Amino acid sequence: MSGLTAPKGTFDVLPPESARFLAVRETLTAPLRRAGYGYVETPVFEHTEVFSRGVGESTDVVTKEMYTFDDRGGRSLTLRPELTAGLVRAFIEHRLHTGPLPVKLWTVGSAFRYERPQAGRYRHFTQVDMEALGVDDPALDAEVVALGVQGFRDLGLTDFELLLTSLGDATDRPPYREKLVEYLEKLDLDEETRRRAEINPLRVLDDKRPEVQAQLDDAPLMVDHLSDATRAHYDAVRQHLTDLGVTWTEAPRLVRGLDYYTKTTFEFVHSGLGAQSAIGGGGRYDGLSAALGGPDVSGIGYAVGVDRTLLAVQAEGLDVAAAAGVRAFVVPLGAEAKRLAVRLVGQLRQAGVPADTVYGDRGLKGAMRAAERSGASHAVVVGERDLADGVGQLKDLRTGEQRAVPVGDLFEALRTAVSA
């Protein structure tokens, strides 16, 4: 194959599949808009320390997967490997914490990780991300989790599962860490894994290698070492989820791939995706703002992979209703008819009717093929003889029925027909 291609681990989303991609993205974000979350745009790259300090230096994301480079001013910049740290940086920089709390934000955009490409895992991917910042309330945790569940339900997904646990807080972690480190010291681990364990021993529980997992059967679990206050928080979250009609599976070994999580932690997995079963996840991160130099306020949020969710939709054989494309098509035959077509299509679009026409020199056969490919339900065909008679032919492309309509009435007739 000659010519340029997309870089390894990336992909293009093209019509008609892109319509389903957009439909998934819009469906996942609709519950957030209904719940009062405001849209945010942040840069696709940040100062590297936003992620090294925020995501955690022991994570694979920071140590192995970030696209980091120096700009012409010698500043170290990184393409965002996830969206939360950038949103929290914006929250701090623009002093959003001085206004009403919680601050509810959402965004959607690309993230980049240098991973080994495989089905469902790419180096460039799209996430829907949401954050609720500034309030530590179990009811808010439940709201966040339930909004993620609602997005999947609205898509018609049924084969997904919510995994839930608590990772404790700054009070619970130190004594638990001592117990876990003591346990890990007795295991047969390679040097790199031991180094990771020194920075954050929880990371070892997340190690997917069978030879590591086989040694962790009796490892102490954070959920068994929660303080009374943290356990009460977790119990309240679960009660609110029950009240919201959300079911979950307790997952005491769940460790998300980012270091900032505390307390409520969760993941959405889908049974139809094989090894890469996660379609989203998140949790509470009460120390992230302070770690980035901001106020010591709490936060909770999640990220959902649009690409992964689309794979889940396909795995369940769902016909995601894409936004309506072209509904009206005008086929002109001849220069005078082309002027009419351009004018008519412009009027339809201004009136909110998705409309198109044929461009280039095509005969009737080729033009009608273009009309059918457009997905329009109705077309107007105007030839020189039609213009001489002062009419256009309104055709129902679904049934083949056709009738003559006076030129002055074409706009209203076509708008009415596609709206029926």
* CATH code of residue 347: 3.40.50.800
Split at pLDDT 50, 70, 90, the class of 257 is low
CA distance 208 to 124: 22
Residue 230 marked as a ligand binder:
no
Residue 185 marked as a ligand binder:
no
CA distance 41 to 107: 6
Per-residue pLDDT of 145-199, as tens digits, reads 999 999 999 999 999 999 999 999 888 888 888 888 888 888 888 888 888 777 7
Per-residue pLDDT of 30-55, as tens digits, reads 999 999 999 999 999 999 999 988 77
374 and 266, same structural domain?
A: no
30 and 147, same structural domain?
A: yes
Residue 83 marked as a ligand binder:
yes
> What pLDDT does residue 4 have?
94
Residue 82 marked as a ligand binder:
yes
Residue 369 marked as a ligand binder:
no
Q: How far apart, in Å, are the Cα atoms of 320 and each of 109, 317, 324, 372? A: 21, 9, 12, 21
354 and 231, same structural domain?
A: no
124 and 55, same structural domain?
A: yes
Residue at a domain's end among 288, 315, 342: 315
Q: Which residue has the higher pLDDT, 406 or 319?
A: 406
368 and 274, same structural domain?
A: no
Read off the pLDDT of each residue in 11-34 and give the average, rounded to a whole number.
Answer: 94
Structure tokens at 401: 């029925």
State the total domains in the chain.
2
> What pLDDT does residue 5 have?
95
Report the mean per-residue pLDDT for the chain. Answer: 91
How many alpha carbons fall within 13 Å on the CB side of residue 238? 14
Residue 260 marked as a ligand binder:
yes
Residue 314 marked as a ligand binder:
no
238 and 387, same structural domain?
A: no
> Is the pLDDT reported for residue 260 higher than 80?
no
* CATH code of residue 268: 3.30.930.10
261 and 130, same structural domain?
A: yes
Residue at a domain's end among 315, 338, 356: 315
Per-residue pLDDT of 225-234, as tens digits, reads 999 999 999 9
In a domain, 212, yes or no: no
344 and 295, same structural domain?
A: no
Residue 113 marked as a ligand binder:
yes
Q: Which residue has the higher pLDDT, 87 or 177?
A: 87
Reduced to 3 states (helix: H, G, I; strand: E, B; else coil), residue 213 is helix
> Is the pLDDT reported for residue 62 higher than 90?
no
**pTM as predicted:** 0.87
Residue at a domain's end among 315, 348, 381: 315
> Is the pLDDT reported for residue 78 higher than 70?
yes
369 and 239, same structural domain?
A: no
> What pLDDT does residue 259 have?
60
Range of the domain at 232: 17-172+226-315
In a domain, 73, yes or no: yes
